[in-house]
Amino acid sequence: MNIIKLLNGVTATGDGKIIALDPKRVINGPVAFQLSGITTATVILLSTIATQQEVDEETAVWTTLKSGTFTSDTAECIIVSFPFLKANVSAYTVGTITAKIWL
């Protein structure tokens, strides 16, 4: 299993790293998701059905899998049905945010 950081010590709004999921291991399966370092921030976990070219050209349409305003660290398991995944901080107040997934 691999631990991948989608957000790494983020202190502002913006997108994190986009990862391509291995369809043999993850698609329609559970993914462990952890947020840490949060004091107050809105974090969105997004996924897309797109080609690598659409992702590279930033024309992919992203769908929200999980969203919330968090005031403390959290972890949960989510089902991911799409081949690409990213995290986004849409509102930031305080904290140094890290978002990890375990594949």
Q: Is the pTM of this model over 0.75?
A: yes
Q: What is the pLDDT of residues 32-82, one digit of tens each?
A: 899 999 888 999 999 999 999 999 999 999 999 889 888 889 999 888 888
Q: Please name each of the domains of the chain with its CATH number.
A: 3-102 (2.60.120)
Contact of 27 with 81, CB cutoff 8 Å: yes
Give phi and psi for 7, each to the nearest 5.
-130, 140
Contact of 59 with 35, CB cutoff 8 Å: no
